[in-house]
Amino acid sequence: MKKSIYTIKSVLVLGLMLSSLNVSAGNEDRSGSAGASYLMVNPWARSSALGDAGIASSKGLEATFTNIAGLASTEKTQIKFNYTNWMGSAGVTFNSAGIAQRISESSVIAVSIQSMGFGEIPITTVANPEGNIGTFSPSSTVFNIGYAKQFSSTISGGINFKILSESLSNLSATGVAIDAGVRYVTGEKDHIKFGITLRNVGPTMSYKGDGLAQQASYLNGTITASLEERSASFEMPSLLAIGGSYDFIFSEKSKLNLALGFTANSFQNDQYRLGLDYCMTGEKVAFNLRGGFVYEKNLFNEENRTNALVGPSAGFSLDALVGKNKSALGVEYGARFAGIFGIIHTIGATIQLK
């Protein structure tokens, strides 16, 4: 009894420490003013199908986005590859890959990378406004190094370091950010979970490069100099997320996970999340069917909505269980709905060694 009280108090203290950091939540006047908005995009199919509601329930590499503390639940080795056609018909590709590895009885590390490409864009200048002088390909890349530890049978925590890189034809920006989170698990069958995480906290970023320089002539017209303009800095899209989940266990081979979450955003409306994950497990196959919904202010008002995503999400995964230890070879799919942009599809594969 004393141990349970102690662990609950530990979770509350850590949660208060995280929430006491400078996060100005739900400020709609600042919507769209942050940079590095790709940090808000979930690259993984399984957790995105839940509407990112798995703040307390996600595990393995999926947890490196929703709550890094869930990484501690990785059994041995997990490898993932996912592809997303971000914003549906907009022509933006989003590739992600990663590996999670247990390094001790209580510790797990993970390395992953996400890369967003925006296709070929024609180069235009003042002298060549019509283009026809080549193309350039903007890109945004995030490199993650995560660590999670199981402190006890009920409490786990983790931290994720991010290195960001953005580039245009003649401009680039780099930055760093961190995520931190804790998770508490209770119940006879570990079917009740709570989680809290603070994400995308880091210093401001700014662009540098030849694209900020221009040629200028002095009044006498005999001397030409290069003048470099200053780039305004931009902040990270930091957020605080709190969530809980409950497993309805129907039998040893069938269960339903209900996940709820709340996200306090610094640069957009606060969001309320709901996710359902139904799992059927057989001798050789495991099948999951998922659905989610994300609500925020003005979601149903097209004129005032500040998010391209319109709420619902869905998906499934199919895992082949092989070997004595029931290692899994799986495929996964997730769909998010983005209004006029169409449907965002995420497909991928997962290798889980036990």
The per-residue DSSP string of 259-310 comes to EEEEEEESSS--EEEEEEEEEEE-SSEEEEEEEEEEEETTTT-TTT---S--
Residue 11 has pLDDT above 50, yes or no: no
H or E stretch at 114: strand 107-117
Q: Which range (10-19, 278-287, 344-353) has the least confidence?
A: 10-19
The amino acid at 230: R
10 Å CB burial of residue 80 (0-12, 13-18, 19+) is buried
Q: Which residue has the higher pLDDT, 33 or 115?
A: 115
- pLDDT at site 348: 96
pLDDT for 166-175, tens place per residue? 988 888 899 9
Average pLDDT in the 323-352 region?
93
- Percent of the chain past pLDDT 90, that is, above it, reads 63
Average pLDDT in the 142-146 region?
97
Residue 19 has pLDDT above 50, yes or no: no
Residue 352 has pLDDT above 80, yes or no: yes
Chain position carrying tokens 């004129």: 303
Around 296, how many Cα atoms within 13 Å sit in the side-chain half-sphere? 26
pLDDT for 42-63, tens place per residue? 999 999 999 999 999 999 999 9
Question: Pairing mode, if any, of strands 192-201 and 285-296?
Answer: unpaired
Rounded-to-integer distance, Cα 185 and Cα 269, Å = 29
Q: Which residue has the higher pLDDT, 306 or 73?
A: 73
- pLDDT at site 311: 93
pLDDT-derived band at 28 (thresholds 50, 70, 90) equals: low
pLDDT for 57-99, tens place per residue? 999 999 999 999 999 999 999 999 999 999 887 889 999 999 9
10 Å CB burial of residue 13 (0-12, 13-18, 19+) is exposed
- pLDDT at site 214: 75
How far, in Å, are 6, 64, 109 from residue 75 at the CA level?
Answer: 26, 15, 12
Around 88, how many Cα atoms within 13 Å sit in the side-chain half-sphere? 14
Closest CA to 168 of 214, 230, 215, 124: 124
Average pLDDT in the 22-40 region?
68
Average per-residue pLDDT for the chain? 88
pLDDT-derived band at 182 (thresholds 50, 70, 90) equals: very high
Q: What share of the chain is helix, strand, coil (3-state, %, to 5)?
A: 15, 50, 35
- pLDDT at site 13: 44
